[in-house]
Amino acid sequence: MTKAKWARILGTTAIAFTLAACGNGDGEETDTSDDTETSAESDTSNDETETEASTEPAQGITDDSVKVGNSAATSGAYAPVGSPFNAGIQAYFEMVNDDGGVHGREIEFVHTDDEFDPAIGRAALQTLVEDEEVFALVGHFGTPVIAATIDDIKDYGIPAVYFAAGIGQLYNAEAEGSDRVAMPVQPIYTTEGEMMLSRAVGDFEAEKVGIIYTNDDAGLDMLEGAENKADELGIELVSEQVPAGATDVSAAVTSIVNEDVDFIIGASIQNTLPTIVKALVAQGSTADLITSYVNVDASISQQIWNDINGQFDVYGNGWVDLASEESQENLAMMNEWIEDEYDNNVYAMTGWIAGHFFTEGMDRLGEETPTWDAYIDAMESEPINNPFGGEIDFGDGQRVGTQEMNLSRVEGETEWVEVEALKGIDEILGNN
């Protein structure tokens, strides 16, 4: 399969993701000896008891198993996304279990179908944590459910690894306390806004950047990221808002074109972007444009290729890279373990990634008692490699999702061709 085709299919990963309290799981036994004893023997006994006090494992942990779970839409309109996603998680755990588990513990994965419904998802979370007593959530799914449950997850204090959404509620550059439990992997729109502004400066030497953003969560989050990075770099950023799904964006485009910007960010997802591009063509813009990884798909290039006709280039981010030998080997491994119907399925790949990230944290614990705090510390101890390219660093409380992205360009009606390999912002800006 060509690199262009992989760039196209991997851009679709987030399209469909428009998307009461218990203990913290870290029970601790402490010395309760009678403080009135004053003999030397009693003092020695108390010291030994305090030294030998042990921390109990978190819920969901036995000597030979660890139970994790999620809720995801595996019926209804989003089943074509949720079913392969969950299959990828399950396949990864089956591979790990076949090899003896993680330090002798097999991974048990339990799942509830939430039908992409926030109310059902919230009830499912309570069941998973309080009744099933899972150790962690793996692959929390879909914007509406995540938005409805993220505060509950933090209140529980339970680790949550991989969120199948890019909403800004997941973004935190320096997470502390209960905010540390959320560990996003998939791109977050706020981070992507920072990335697009950095590319405008580092790759295209822009000094004045225009951003046309939709007034929805995705557009507003990308705007916030771009503004943050523009302020940091001292770059002039001109912004114009358009309604999500607008069929006429000419006024906003006129304002951006009249500002004579060097580069344009199309901070919108799916159906609004072609409208923006066509309006820029009609008004004679020649500034290159970059857009979200969500738009790196044949359904977008088909709508704009004949219009742009060399007037300017349209670029898009990507968050995985299947061009490398290692990525191809990991894809072959996934196909070996997953049901045949999900071979090479992009959503199954994201589930495989989620399973990999959770397992890496368990592996790092080694012989340490698996408490929730210890697990989160292990996840933060050093960056984790994505099996399909790049890495995520949770260190110092970073909860910003993917920090390395590649760059593709529209090259035909159905083609997005990779032109820059995976890079982080520092490397793009020449700081490495």
**pLDDT single digits (tens) 219-244:** 999 999 999 999 999 999 999 999 99
Are 285 and 345 contained in the same domain? no
Residues of the chain with pLDDT > 70, as a percent, come to 87
Identify the pLDDT of residue 34. Answer: 39
Q: Is residue 49 part of a domain?
A: no
User: Based on the structure, what is the number of domains in the chain?
Assistant: 2
> What are 172's two structure tokens?
């935190």
How many CB atoms sit inside 10 A of residue 415's CB? 17
Are 244 and 289 contained in the same domain? yes
Q: Is residue 46 part of a domain?
A: no
Mean pLDDT of the 356-371 span: 97
- Average pLDDT of the chain, as a whole number: 89
Are 70 and 123 contained in the same domain? yes
Give the pLDDT band (50/70/90) at residue 54. low
Query: Is pLDDT above 50 for 171?
Result: yes
- Boundaries of domain holding 261: 190-318+405-428
Q: Is residue 40 part of a domain?
A: no
Give the CA count within 13 Å in the CB-facing half-sphere of 332.
7
| Residue 162, domain CATH | 3.40.50.2300
Are 170 and 266 contained in the same domain? no
Give the pLDDT band (50/70/90) at residue 19. very low
Are 282 and 415 contained in the same domain? yes
Query: How many angstroms separate the CA atoms of 237 and 80, rounded?
Result: 39
Are 307 and 196 contained in the same domain? yes
Sheet holding 208-214, edge to edge: 236-242, 208-214, 263-267, 289-291, 314-318, 404-412, 415-424
Query: How many angstroms separate the CA atoms of 249 and 256, rounded?
Result: 11
Q: Is residue 44 part of a domain?
A: no
Give the pLDDT band (50/70/90) at residue 324. confident
Mean pLDDT of the 283-288 span: 98
Mean pLDDT of the 81-89 span: 97
Mean pLDDT of the 298-327 span: 94
Q: Is residue 109 part of a domain?
A: yes
Are 272 and 194 contained in the same domain? yes
Q: Is residue 53 part of a domain?
A: no
Are 290 and 409 contained in the same domain? yes
Identify the pLDDT of residue 432. Answer: 67
More confident call, 16 vs 174: 174
